[in-house]
Amino acid sequence: MSMRKYQLDGEPISHLPGRLISVSSSLYEKDWKSIRHTHPFVELFYVKSGSGSFFIEDQSFPIAKDELIIINPNVEHTEVSLDDPPLEYITLGIEDFQFSFSHKGSYLALKDKSVTKNLGIYFSSILSEVEHRAPGYELVCQNFLEILTLLLMRQTDSAFELIPVENTTRECSRIKRYIDSHYQDDITLDNLAKMAHLNKYYFVHAFTKFYGQSPIQYLTAIRLKTSKDLLESSDYTISEIAQLSGFSSSSYFAQCFRKHCGMTALAYRNLTKHKNRT
């Protein structure tokens, strides 16, 4: 008889950050309307079958069976299926951490099927646990998630590392969503800091660290984007567009637009209409 025995080090095991908060399974059908969206948490997007295209930030690329996309929080994305066979995928939503990729991007597309194919069983197993809800299924799902994350780190040769997300980041994500839907309101930095339950200066620091710009800079960018859309697609006057975009006055709108866009709002409208005609 031959036997091999391996002794574990016995050191305390430190669990990885991250908590599984959602699992979904989707099959693309003809009535499916693809809309760009964001999540305040990490999303793992695994293609179970079919093929299509994935749109993220200003990039697009084809996706197919057994491919995996890792998407950091608050990154705009969507997917579109080819008709036959339709796109079928499983997504996992994970909070309390984000990925720091070696290429400094906000997402990572894993297309090497020798790496990703063996990971599919963990997505399917998590989905099965959630569907059947046997006793202890939540703990099983969390453990599967930890194994999946470790295998990703191992099989991709450490193409990323995990960065724990503090509670302040959740508050910043909540404030960002508030700005996205209330940019037309009278918003001040003091009010946003109160909503976040954070010191104003610490709030600005945390928001800027996570999003690369201050809350007020982000608010201004949203308002300018809205104004550009209205200049291109509507017949509202410049004054009306300033108001609809959330600017406090036409003069302040004119000042911001020229500063950030390098031309007046009227010049931008004329330029875009000329391009559309040609």
What confidence tens digit (pLDDT) does each residue in 245-271 have? 999 999 999 999 999 999 999 999 999
CA distance linking residue 86 with residue 107, whole number of Å: 24
Is residue 167's pLDDT more than 60?
no
- Which pLDDT tens digit goes with each residue over 91-116? 999 987 777 776 667 889 999 888 88
Q: What is the reported pLDDT for 264?
A: 94
Same domain, 124 and 60: yes
* 243 shares a domain with 195: yes
Whether residue 201 sits in one domain with residue 150: no
- Of 209, 215, 213, 214, the residue nearest 178 (C-alpha): 215
Helix (H, G, I), strand (E, B) or coil at 36: coil
* pLDDT, tens only, 66-97: 999 999 887 889 999 987 889 999 999 998 77
Which residue range forms the structural domain that includes residue 237? 167-277
User: What are the residues facing 108 on neighbouring strands?
Assistant: 70
Same domain, 190 and 265: yes
Q: Are strands 97-101 and 160-164 parallel, antiparallel or unpaired?
A: antiparallel
Per-residue pLDDT at 275 exceeds 80? no
Structure tokens at 232: 């291109």
Going by C-alpha positions, the residue among 233, 230, 259 that lies closest to residue 246 is 230
204 assigned to some structural domain: yes
> Cα separation of 243 and 254, whole Å?
12
Q: pTM for the whole thing?
A: 0.61
- Summarize pLDDT for 119-140 with one digit per residue, the tens: 999 999 999 999 999 999 999 9
User: What is the model's pLDDT at position 41?
Assistant: 80
Percent of the chain with pLDDT over 70: 89
pLDDT at res. 165: 62
The model's confidence at residue 189, banded by pLDDT at 50, 70 and 90, is: very high
Alpha-carbon distance of 175 to 196, in angstroms, equals 7
Residue 152 shares a structural domain with residue 37: yes
- What span, in angstroms and rounded, lies between the C-alpha atoms of 132 and 149? 23
Q: Are residues 51 and 183 in the same domain?
A: no
Residues 123 and 176 both lie in one domain: no
Number of domains comprising the chain = 2
Task: Looking at the structure, tell me whether residues 117 and 189 fall in a common domain.
Answer: no
pLDDT of residue 158: 53
Are 135 and 191 contained in the same domain?
no
Q: What is the pLDDT of residue 3?
A: 84
- pLDDT score at 45: 97
One domain, residues 32 and 51:
yes
pLDDT at 166: 57
What is the pLDDT, as a whole number, of residue 168?
56
Same domain, 71 and 141: yes
Predicted local confidence at residue 163, as pLDDT: 65
Q: How far is CA 43 from the centre of its chain?
A: 7
Per the domain annotation, does 5 fall within a domain?
no
Mean pLDDT across 12-33: 82
Contact present, 73 and 39 (Cβ < 8 Å): yes
Q: pLDDT at position 161, please?
A: 67
State yes or no: pLDDT of 31 exceeds 80: no
Closest to 162 (Cα-Cα) out of 257, 247, 97, 88: 97
